[in-house]
Structure 1
Amino acid sequence: MSAVTINDVARQAGVSKKTVSRVINNEANVSVETRDKVMAVIQATGFKRNPLGMALAKNRSLFIALLADNPSPGYLQKLQKGVLQYCSESNMGLFLYDCSYRSPGLVAEIEGFIDNTLADGLILVPPLSDKKELLDMLNRRKVAYVRIGAPDAALGDSVGFDNQQAAYELTRYLLRLKHKDIGFVLGHPDQGSSQRCEAGFRQAYAEAGIEFPEKLLVQGYYTFQSGVDAAAVLLNKTPRPTAILASNDEMAVGVLYSAHSRGLKVPDDISVVGIDDIALSTKVWPNLTTMRQPITAIGYRAAYKLIRKLQGLPDEGPKNPEADLLTCELIVRDSAREPGRN
């Protein structure tokens, strides 16, 4: 049996195809009697409007896009899962677009992507979400977007994670374990999350009244290899730090690799901790102690905010922008312990 079409509904209801379309789209200028008659036919026939036809009629794609240049595949995988979950619930599709943050033609490239795909809105992953030239172009073209990152009214809607609180709590945990000389692997210098993590690290030392280990700060880039490289610097210091805190789990796994390659036992010889709680953190030995970032929930919330905006529906979530800065949770596993306790 062939599917019921809008023409079938119009014929059975004794009205024009345009009138049926007005009823479906809840437009004005349709009498109550006509609306009831058309709706009765729709219910009786089980008619469902073709979503592709709806999209073409409204010059929309019924797709949103997740734009990223993020070096952590574990992070992106969990974020994408949350975005896809809400897209599925709202019958929206998802484009995944990988671009180069440092490309001189980035803004023009993304503008071309919007024109070619008719993507209805964008979710921007750091560091793209902090790039002012890109945001200016999107605002000029009135393209809806939601940023993944810390709240900033000047930069538009966002959903993020309190990186400063995460680094602060994790540093306090290590200090409670009686570590004083803690190596710190910074995140990518182009990302605001890196500065916020460092601020949390410094805050914990200041509150503890312990001399800050300035010489134990080493630059990283949120990648596994940068964790390996940073650990090589820290593990060659004399005296060696008793613990290393990396600003994400990808780098923490790199630190683990570097420690193992030198014959060091974790956590007997050195403790290693990270931030994010990506799947990789439980696939290495020892399993990483980390601060759990609700990455999937952040992706879901970002998709919710964007799609509700596109649908002209109110955001029924938290009204306070700070409520879109999700909190963290300390996950204690096997990679950290008191120094010198064998």
Structure 2
Amino acid sequence: MPAEPPTAAARQGEATLQKPTKAARRKGMAVTLDEVAALAKVSPMTVSRVVNGHGKVRDTTRDRVMRAVRELGYTPNLAASALATAQDTRVALIYTNPSSAYLRELLVGALRGATRTAAQLVIDTWDTLGANAQRQAARTLAKRVAGVILPPPLCESKGVIAEFIDADVPVVAIASGRFNHDISCVRIDDFRASKEITTHLVAAGHQRIGYIKGHPNQTASVRRFEGFQAALAEAGLPLDETLVESGYFTYRSGLEAAEKLLAHPAPPTAIFASNDDMAAAVVSVAHRRHLEVPQDLSVVGFDDTSAATTVWPELTTIRQPIAAMADSAVDILLRSIRRKDRSTRMLVDHVIPHQLVKRDSVARPAR
């Protein structure tokens, strides 16, 4: 039985899907979205909507596009799509913290979050900038990024934060001691964590506990010292101001503070340094003074960075999940950037659980 002649609609469809000429195909190169659009007689934007499943497209148009895709063997460039999305969501991580161990954790988390969400991460360091220069740098940066992540101490800078808020750029602070109420925040409960590790020392029998404060320009430092004091008060122990020294979250400041504490006429039997870098410095000074840790002196830190496990003995410390906090900060920032209603600011106070990590640097005090 002879085949029926094609209908007028079929003839029209066949005429519509005419392959591009050899010149248009560029021999040896991958088929482009524009070539699919030319064959299907639609715009490149329509092809993009059909291929990516975005937007409303008529069924007849979708069928025509998909016939062209199959005929030309078109494969979407996923890398290019991801790059385009990333350019729309460029976020900056600005760093001025002197701790290299802290920086490594921040970068691991931020890079992981950016990779997972197809955001473009810009790393900027303002170590050498004063307050006025930081505000100018913030004004400049606000013109080329969609959002900003501020770890300490910049998360405490009212001037820098004000510049980004004025430019309507969303900001997420990492590891601030308190919720700011002007920007989103990812943090732990520094007060509770500090109280917990101090209670651990008291439970081990220590009554003379030295303390090394963190940098005075950070609210986390204040909250950790408040937690230390609260644990002593709860245990009925007085605060001996002569056993409290100032530090700046640096190894060098830890060395200087430890020397003063261990030169005290009645030195402490334990020292709580409010970050791991300073706690590692305490262990170094103790060894130099021929003191055994923890037999002669117990030492604890805070953060659980790599510094806690590169000394001997390894440090009992509070695990602040810095990498996870940076990862969460990227998520919060992108939700704020990509939401449809930008008439009001989205503010989030995300408190992440901490953990007391018990290692070999704590023992009962010697008689």
TM score, norm. by length of structure 2: 0.82
Q: How many angstroms apart in 1 are the aligned matches of 2:45 and 2:300? A: 62
Give CA-to-partner distance per residue, 1:262-283, whole Å, 9 cap, x none: 2211111111110011112111
Give CA-to-partner distance per residue, 1:91-143, whole Å, 9 cap, x none: 2232211113644311102322344xx22221111111121111111111111
8 Å contact from structure 1 (residues 165, 328) kept in 2? no
Asked whether 1:105 is paired with 2:133, we answer: yes
Percent identity among equivalent residues? 36
Aligned-partner SS, 2:362: coil
Change (3 A) 1:278 1:264: same
Asked whether 1:124 is paired with 2:150, we answer: yes
Equivalences for residues 184-195 of structure 1 within 5 A: 184-195=211-222
Q: Offset at 1:307? A: 2.0
Q: How many angstroms apart in 2 are the aligned matches of 1:320 and 1:145? A: 9
Aligned-partner SS, 2:181: helix
Q: How many angstroms apart in 1 are the aligned matches of 2:291 and 2:237? A: 26
What amino acid is the match of 2:298? S
Q: Offset at 1:313? A: 7.8
1:253 corresponding residue in structure 2: 280
8 Å contact from structure 1 (residues 151, 159) kept in 2? no
1:312 corresponding residue in structure 2: 339
Q: How many angstroms apart in 2 are the aligned matches of 1:65 and 1:277? A: 25
What amino acid is the match of 2:230? Q
Asked whether 1:54 is paired with 2:81, we answer: no
CA radius of gyration, larger in: 2
8 Å contact from structure 1 (residues 150, 325) kept in 2? no
8 Å contact from structure 1 (residues 62, 93) kept in 2? yes
Aligned-partner SS, 1:277: coil
Change (3 A) 1:40 1:327: farther
C-alpha RMSD of the superposition: 2.6
Q: 1:200 aligns with which of 223, 227, 231?
A: 227
Equivalences for residues 125-274 of structure 1 within 5 A: 125-148=151-174, 149-150=176-177, 152=179, 154-274=181-301
Q: Which runs of 5+ in 2 are unaligned?
A: 1-27
What amino acid is the match of 1:185? I
Q: How many angstroms apart in 2 are the aligned matches of 1:72 and 1:283? A: 14
Q: How many angstroms apart in 2 are the aligned matches of 1:309 and 1:215? A: 47
What amino acid is the match of 1:113? L
2:17 corresponding residue in structure 1: none
Change (3 A) 1:131 1:213: same
Q: Which runs of 5+ in 1 are unaligned?
A: none
2:329 corresponding residue in structure 1: 302
Q: How many angstroms apart in 2 are the aligned matches of 1:211 and 1:151? A: 26
1:287 corresponding residue in structure 2: 314
How many residue pairs get aligned? The number is 330
What amino acid is the match of 1:48? N
8 Å contact from structure 2 (residues 308, 315) kept in 1? yes
1:9 corresponding residue in structure 2: 36
What amino acid is the match of 2:360? D
Q: How many angstroms apart in 2 are the aligned matches of 1:302 and 1:159? A: 6
Q: Offset at 1:151? A: 5.0
Q: How many angstroms apart in 1 are the aligned matches of 2:63 and 2:183? A: 42
